[in-house]
Amino acid sequence: MPCYEFACRECGGFERIHLMAEVPAESACPTCGQPARRRVGGGTLLHGDSPAMRLLDATARTAAEPPVVTAPPSGSRRRVTRNPLHRKLPRP
């Protein structure tokens, strides 16, 4: 469940965990009990060491630094195509 930030005018900010479908616009301050408005933000969804976070980091890294292929993989065989349109393609 995501963690949302709320701001009390008298006491400052605090965090509460709510379901995404049930996030209130205001929550009672745990210190003074006054209504506190929710701050605009993204919320916290993932832990830094979770498998999902590692996958997101790896995906972002490959988007910025794609691997460069300089030659076909070793041991690969040439593919034989039977499509007549492929004969019109330029040869290396």
14-19 contacts: CB < 8 A, separation 24 or more? none
pLDDT band at residue 34, thresholds of 50, 70 and 90?
very high
Give the pLDDT confidence of 65-82 residue by residue, as tens digits: 777 878 777 776 777 788
Instruction: Give dist(CA 75, CA 92) in Å, integer.
Output: 19
The mean of the pLDDT values for the chain is: 81
pTM tops 0.75? no
The residue among 38 and 44 whose pLDDT is bigger is 38
- Confidence (pLDDT) at 22: 85
